[in-house]
Amino acid sequence: MAAKKYVCKVCGYVHEGKEAPGVCPLCKAAASEFEAVKEAKKGLDTNSDVYAIIYSVVMVVIVAFLLAGVSSVLKPTQDANIELDKKKQILSSLNIKGQDDAATVYANVVKADIIVDAEGNVKAEQGGFDDKNVKDGEYALYIAEVDGARKYILPMTGNGLWGGIWGYLALNDDCNTIYGVYFSHASETPGLGAEIAGDKFQSKFPGRKVYRDGDVALTIVKGVKDETVEVNAISGATITCNGVNDMLKHKLNPYYNYLKKQATAIPATELVPAEPVAEEENVEPAAADAAQENVEE
């Protein structure tokens, strides 16, 4: 049996042995005056605050390393899913939806992802798909081909009632007539602002014009009066519709100069300021009316 420690309660003498001595060698106290000394447990006390703190810190570090490792392993898959979702959104603006192999369809349809500036200059012939390549004052633009016709897709971002909104707007090769749109949101109200992501709202845009007199004329209003550039708003979603209007105005304006250079058949009054018609003498009334109609079309 291992030796134990006994202390004299009278004088404090400490004795080591299998049992207490019969008499204290210092004060002559009897054996009954000795009591065993309890040995302190080695290591941390699992009931102490120090142990709880150390345990918590160790567990947090371990979990953090595990999460970092899992995130690192899954990141390529996550990035691929994000990229595929973006391609599906761009295809949706071209009215191409529900494709089993959207990545292949995208590669066949979208011919370029260029970067332009507000002056209409092409800053990069490719790379616009990755937002990291687009610097301040530059704008990504996608060029696609659908049924043999060129389409221009313009990305947009903005703010709705509760969070971010975004979308893509596809133009025909006249660079002004809408071919299709795609809108989505982060947290708009279901049944109200969230309807911007629905086909019912988005189907109102094709055929509308974007630019008039050098500015964005496309707008969402309550009660359409000019079907050329106006789209009927969603009832009860005024703030979200205002957010879409702001997004259209501020995000589409920078593309104007580039699109003006690419335009092939845009009436002057829709994309660029109309040139004044010179007055001529002895013009027949019918001829004058015909000239005026050519300017207004």
Task: Return the percentage of the chain with pLDDT > 90, whole number.
Answer: 65
Q: What's the half-sphere exposure (Cβ side, CA atoms, 13 Å) at 69? A: 6
| Residues whose CB falls within 8 Å of the CB of residue 220, separated by 6 or more in sequence, listed in order | 230, 231, 232, 233, 241, 244, 245, 248
pLDDT score recorded for residue 50: 82
Averaged pLDDT for residues 254-271:
74
Which pTM was predicted? Answer: 0.69
| Per-residue pLDDT tens over the stretch 175-221 | 999 999 999 999 999 999 999 999 999 999 999 999 999 999 999 99
pLDDT score recorded for residue 290: 41
| Per-residue pLDDT tens over the stretch 19-32 | 888 899 888 888 88
pLDDT score recorded for residue 41: 62
pLDDT score recorded for residue 2: 66
| Residues whose CB falls within 8 Å of the CB of residue 266, separated by 6 or more in sequence, listed in order | 174, 175, 176, 260, 272
